[in-house]
Amino acid sequence: MFKLFKNIDRKNYRPQYGGLDIFKFIGPGLLVTVGFIDPGNWASNLAAGADYGYALLWMVTLSTIMLILLQHNVAHLGIATGLCLSEATAIYLKPGFSKMLLSSAMLASVSTSLAEILGGGIALNMLFGIPIRVASLLVTIFVAIMLLSNSYKIIEKWIIAFVSVIGLSFLYELSLVHIDWNSAMVGWVTPSFPKGSMIVIMSVLGAVVMPHNLFLHSEIIQSRQWNLENEKVIKKQLRFEFLDTLFSMLIGWAINSAMILLAAATFFQTKTPVTELQQANHLLSPLLGNNAAVVFAVALLFSGVASTITSGMAAGTIFAGMYKEPYDIKDNHSRLGVAISLVLALIIIFLISNPFQGLIISQMVLSIQLPFTIFLQVHLTSSEKVMGKYKNTRVSKILLYSLGIIVAVLNIGLFISFFQ
């Protein structure tokens, strides 16, 4: 569990909202944010920018809005009930149905870990020439050590540092290129579906609104056990959580947008298709200078390692929840969940022949599973039996179910596109 407040007297503690004290509560959102600036996002965003310029920026905007609403909602589940999404599913749904849903979430977690590990491996290949499969194995071993060491406070600090480095890296990259900001502004707010773009659109959606992150956020929040406090504290924390979520998700929106802007300003302008992440190393050097390619690779490595850590934690959360248990790396169920996700992902990496296409498809798989997680989450957070007086209002319920329907319709569009 996250022992973030182990020295605090919970009985007498009251959240403070002045000055630097606010930053004590920043963390859960950033742990989630690193999941949607992972290597899978890099592949999806580079493909979007390289193939369609600024046209698909709207998908990052839509996905981020959806993510803010869904993450805010699932965090309420953890705060109000003291249960993560996986635990609540096992407790309040029929066993067969809950196992089916959580098993699909575990498959999504494997798909996520595949992208994270592969991205870190590609980064090591770009920097040091290490074969991708060997590099992926090294990333997996390092992440396993970090997770099994139970160093949660250290992990959180590392990830905040990683997010900062990634953000600064892309700011540096953007300073080297010419951006058509008028086209970018239009792209951010104008939905468009260029011919052949449906797979990329769905991969961007799956890369941003990732199912495993919904499970992870509820786990991180519930580990603080605010539900054990009095009603006044709970209400304050419910309000404050939105600030953490909004702040963190907007950082993610900015970084994802920067990826598409960079690809649009370089690869799209020169009509150069991107078929692998390593290619960015060779293409960015003559276009932007040697430093740009190195910064790109270093940021990709940080992204891969940090997001693999959160992906493994999410898998442990989902698997432990099947047994109505919270995530605890010292517990065998949590350890097994982490192992299943990382090991299966690594095996698939050793079998695939096209790493870049594997990244794109892995994100598309996430978008296919996503509606099931959304409808599950909204069902639980709308239930008075689960949430009590903190259940969703009618307006919130309609809005959240509408998001699930939008994702389902986009998935149908993806399916239809395969036959056109």
85-108 residue pLDDT tens: 999 999 999 999 999 999 999 999
Rounded Cα distance between 323 and 155, Å, is 25
> To which H or E segment does residue 239 belong?
helix 231-263
Rounded Cα distance between 256 and 251, Å, is 9
For residue 130, give the 3-state DSSP assignment: coil
Rounded Cα distance between 416 and 420, Å, is 7
| Per-residue pLDDT at 274 | 79
Positions in the chain short of pLDDT 70: 1-37, 150-160, 162-163, 207, 222-240, 278-288, 418-420
Structure tokens at 34: 């690193």
| Per-residue pLDDT at 286 | 63
Average pLDDT, the chain: 81
Q: How many residues does the chain have?
A: 420
Instruction: Give how many domains the chain has, as a whole number.
Output: 1
Rounded Cα distance between 37 and 43, Å, is 10
| Per-residue pLDDT at 179 | 92
Rounded Cα distance between 274 and 281, Å, is 11
Cite the DSSP H helix spans in 264-331.
Answer: 277-288, 290-322
Rounded Cα distance between 293 and 262, Å, is 12
Which CATH number belongs to the domain containing residue 350 in this structure? 1.20.1740.10
pLDDT tens-place string over residues 123-175: 899 889 999 999 999 999 999 988 888 655 566 666 667 667 777 777 777 88
In a domain, 18, yes or no: no
In a domain, 20, yes or no: no
Rounded Cα distance between 319 and 342, Å, is 13
In a domain, 303, yes or no: yes
> To which H or E segment does residue 372 belong?
helix 355-381
| Per-residue pLDDT at 357 | 76
| Per-residue pLDDT at 367 | 80
In a domain, 2, yes or no: no
Q: Quick one: CA dihedral 227, 229, 231, 234, positive or negative? A: negative
Are 224 and 5 in contact by the 8 Å Cβ rule? The answer is yes
In a domain, 24, yes or no: no
Neighbours of 156 (CB within 10 A): 19
Which residues have CB under 8 Å from 394's CB, separation 6+?
A: none
Rounded Cα distance between 217 and 324, Å, is 17
Which residues have CB under 8 Å from 93's CB, separation 6+?
A: 101, 376
The percent of the chain in helix, strand and coil, each rounded to the nearest 5, is 80, 0, 20
CA torsion, ordered 24, 382, 102, 307, to nearest 10 deg:
-30
Q: Among residues 164, 145, 124, which one has the least CA distance to residue 309?
A: 145
Domain hosting 101: range is: 33-417
Q: Quick one: CA dihedral 92, 309, 253, 123, positive or negative? A: negative
In a domain, 345, yes or no: yes
In a domain, 48, yes or no: yes
